[in-house]
Amino acid sequence: MIAPGSVIGILGGGQLGRMLALAAAPLGFRVHVYAPEDELPAADVSFAVTRAGYADAAALAAFAGQVDVVTFEFENVPSATLALLESLRPVHPCHAALDVAQDRLLEKRFVEELGGTTAPYAAVDSVADLDAALARLGTPAILKTRRMGYDGKGQIRIMHPTEAAASCAALGGADLILEGLVAFDREFSIIVTRGADGSERHFPAIENHHRGGILAESRVPAAVSADAVAAATALVVRIADALGYVGVLTCEFFDTAAGPVFNEMAPRVHNSGHWTIEGARTSQFEQHIRAICGLPLGAADLLAPAVSMTNLLGDAALGWADILSDPDAHLHLYGKSTPEPGRKMGHVTKLHA
């Protein structure tokens, strides 16, 4: 067990790290952030900061020497970085979870082996592969990079087979995956926390609305059938068990007439769970801290009949004065300096009767 008073090391210094640090404080932990960027929302509320690259072995070793446990707030941590840290300190979630979550192809195969349903897919490493995949899956279809995609980046919708060569080239020509288009009614996510002892807690299913590939709003409870929620939640628990996962695990699903279709997983706290800060008995951030420190998990039930979370993207954050004048609004600003279009600057949570 990592007892209160210990130092938690976090790789990555964005808003997820900031909210993890804020959740760690009441439990008596201090946070040390490791990240290369100049602007680090997490550093504003942390005990210590190492500003260094993820390939800097000396800086990583020094960091490991100053923390008691290591976690991360983004899934694209290089494998070698994690391996080095794992040789020095406990790291949660585990390397296997990161390997699966970093690669859309491995992720889909892994989930299928566990009995989950994914979009129909094919590995694409050439235009010939893509032609064959389009012939099998049909159009429209979505071509995605296997790695490093986020917020709708690294993907192209293909409407006609004649677009194959250009689409393939635009995404680098190899290490791609073609997905058939899933006809869904809505999108939802399931957030499960798994403790070191295998205990598990999950929040209610969360309905997610995207604009331009970026999460705009999350709502609980989701307008998804109890059967679909149960099947999706059971799958996420199987994924967590199979990986020996410790911490918060988020999986995104499409709700379809034939049942839930797994889209992707994030081995971390997630934007769709921000509402848990005010809306659940234990937030996703506190659950993650509890899990990685080997502490008992908290209760995950709702504190209101319904909760909503709206992202403040770009200039929307400049409306903070109006938001503060609404007594029902819980405002979170991440301390970022430039409100570029689509940039996640903050969020607002509301509890509803």
Give the tokens for residue 204. Answer: 């209610």
Place of tokens 């210094």: 13
Q: Which stretch binds ligand AMP (CB under 6 A): 27-35, 94-102, 180-188, 235-243?
A: 180-188
Instruction: Report d(CA 64, CA 10) in Å as an integer.
Output: 10
Q: Which is nearer to ligand AMP, 119 or 317 (CB)?
A: 119
Residue 200 interacts with ligand AMP (CB under 6 A): yes or no: no
The CA R_g of the chain, rounded to the nearest whole Å, is: 20
Distances (CA, A) of 92 to 62, 164, 304: 19, 40, 31
Q: Which stretch binds ligand AMP (CB under 6 A): 15-23, 46-54, 175-183, 277-285?
A: 175-183
Residue 181 interacts with ligand AMP (CB under 6 A): yes or no: yes
79: left (phi over 0), alpha (psi -120 to 50) or beta: alpha
Instruction: Report d(CA 131, CA 30) in Å as an integer.
Output: 53
Give the tokens for residue 177. Answer: 């995956």
Query: Which residue in 136, 209, 210, 281 binds ligand AMP (CB under 6 A)?
Result: 210
Query: Which residue in 73, 75, 103, 179 binds ligand AMP (CB under 6 A)?
Result: 179
Residue 271 beta carbon to ligand AMP: minimum distance, rounded to whole angstroms: 12
Instruction: Report d(CA 158, CA 134) in Å as an integer.
Output: 9
Instruction: Report d(CA 11, CA 32) in Å as an integer.
Output: 9
Residue 142 interacts with ligand AMP (CB under 6 A): yes or no: yes
Total count of residues recorded for the chain: 353
Q: Are strands 7-11 and 69-72 parallel, antiparallel or unpaired?
A: parallel
Residue 213 interacts with ligand AMP (CB under 6 A): yes or no: yes
**Helix 57-65 and helix 79-86: axis angle, to 10°?**
40
Q: Which is nearer to ligand AMP, 140 or 198 (CB)?
A: 140
Q: Which is nearer to ligand AMP, 187 or 255 (CB)?
A: 187
Residue 16 beta carbon to ligand AMP: minimum distance, rounded to whole angstroms: 17
Residue 352 interacts with ligand AMP (CB under 6 A): yes or no: no
Smallest CA-to-CA distance from 282 within 268, 263, 302 is with 302
Residue 44 beta carbon to ligand AMP: minimum distance, rounded to whole angstroms: 29
C-alpha 62, offset from chain centre: 27
Residue 235 interacts with ligand AMP (CB under 6 A): yes or no: no
Q: Which is nearer to ligand AMP, 147 or 336 (CB)?
A: 147
The 95-124 site mask, x for binding ligand AMP (CB under 6 A), equals ------------------------x-----
Instruction: Report d(CA 289, CA 8) in Å as an integer.
Output: 8
Q: Which is nearer to ligand AMP, 54 or 262 (CB)?
A: 262
Residue 261 beta carbon to ligand AMP: minimum distance, rounded to whole angstroms: 8
Residue 37 beta carbon to ligand AMP: minimum distance, rounded to whole angstroms: 22
Instruction: Show contacts with ligand AMP in window 4-33 (CB under 6 A).
Output: none
Q: Which is nearer to ligand AMP, 211 or 281 (CB)?
A: 211
What lies within 8 Å, CB to CB, of 103 at 6+ separation is 146, 147
Place of tokens 């430039």: 338
Residue 255 interacts with ligand AMP (CB under 6 A): yes or no: no
Q: What is the torsion angle, in degrees rounded to the nearest 10, for the CA atoms of residue 300, residue 303, residue 308 and residue 314? A: -80
Q: Which residues bind ligand AMP (CB under 6 A)?
A: 119, 142, 149, 152, 179, 181-182, 187, 210, 213, 252, 263-264
